[in-house]
Amino acid sequence: MALLRLAHFCCGQVRKKIVALTVDHGLRAASAGEAKQVAAWCADLGIGHHILHWEYQGKGNLSAVARNGRYRLMADFCKANGIAHLYTGHTIDDQAETVLMRLARGSGVDGLAGMARETPIWGITVVRPFVLDQTRGNLRDILRALGQAWIDDPTNDDPSYDRVKARQVFKHLEPLGISVSSLSGLAHRMGLAKQVLQRQADELVKNAVFLSPIGFAELDVNAFAAAETETACRVIGQIINLFSDNGGRPRLSVEEEMLEWMLKRYSSGGKTFAHCAFRPNGDRFNILRETARCAPKTQPGEVNGLWDGRFHFDIPGKKGTPNLQVGALGEAGIIQIPKDNVDYSEAWLAAPREARLATPALWRDDVLVNAPLAPWAAETNGPELVVKARWCK
């Protein structure tokens, strides 16, 4: 609510429009009524408000799955409505709790850097304007001064959650000098170190990673063998994040396992993790998207946007395509492409078959209209789907 009121004031000064989102996780009986109350407060201020509903499927750590779910819902809403920035109300208290929990899990530099003020995620940028210097107490004082009521989430006092445990333990740690301020300072210093490490990783990417327009990565095993372990693991984690839908790097132990396996230079076989396939080929190593884990077909007529987090797609200048969908080429599509007399692109010919299957295609029901990255089209003058890998913009 403090974020909402301050954003409303600031955007009013520069004539910018804001939209408020509330995610109802449906985990408490009172949550639906609370979401409606926020909608009423927004209506009083003349702010557009939308309630997004998330449903727990009963799998995975509830806190982590719910966090992933709400960010996915909000990111999808923003992309569908041409919104580039999503603002959240995280405070310096949240930052300290995050660092303490990650310290307990044995996190490395990136984990101890905490939450960045700006983070790209699923095609948008999450901005946390309060995370560096505003406490929860400060925000409550602002709301009191404005005469604005707010709602406290009772789960913030439930000791079964790790974050609540971290919050409660601070009073015991402060005599040792471990406080919100000191942990926030640690996050800042780790953030500076992260920048240095990231520059080294960027150099390795430039020299040893080929990101194909077909939608996969090919790694030079010799270059990774010569690199520092931290640098090599960082790059592997970033590529996994690029091709998965995790919304972040995997644990360091996963990256180390993949690096160790890569350096064995197997000529066949494979592993899967986070909807990615890992395929060794001697001195080359491919990281691809699992075809079965690709995004589903778009809604009929949805022929412009971001598909599977990897490809921008569009049918330029075309209207009236209500029966067309974008989805993975897959086995069902690749068998519809003639084997002869097709002028395939060099990138297509160089790509593993598995990578081709996970490319976007244009469909009319179960009939393949075109496979733009091959390129091949069933109709000479039909609608042409233009596709570009997100990293080839």
At residue 347, the pLDDT reads 94
At residue 277, the pLDDT reads 92
**d(C-alpha 202, C-alpha 121), whole Å:** 19
At residue 44, the pLDDT reads 95
Cβ contact 236:250 at 8 Å = no
Maximum separation of any 2 CA atoms in the chain, in Å: 76
**d(C-alpha 86, C-alpha 224), whole Å:** 36
At residue 62, the pLDDT reads 83
The residues, any chain, with a CB within 8 Å of residue 302's CB and separated by 6 or more, are 325, 326
Give the number of C-alpha atoms closer than 13 A to the C-alpha of residue 294, restricted to the C-beta side.
28
207-230 pLDDT, tens per residue? 999 999 999 999 999 999 999 999
| pLDDT beneath 50, residues of the chain | none
Closest listed residue to residue 383, CA positions, set 364, 356, 365, 366: 364
At residue 320, the pLDDT reads 59
Cβ contact 48:20 at 8 Å = yes
238-259 pLDDT, tens per residue? 999 888 866 677 888 889 999 9
Cβ contact 386:377 at 8 Å = no
Total-model pTM: 0.79
Q: In 46-156, where does DSSP find H-type helix?
A: 62-80, 92-104, 109-112, 136-146
Domains of the chain: 2-181 (3.40.50.620), 212-289 (3.30.465), 293-392 (no CATH)
Closest listed residue to residue 62, CA positions, set 170, 163, 153: 163
At residue 393, the pLDDT reads 59
**d(C-alpha 124, C-alpha 172), whole Å:** 39
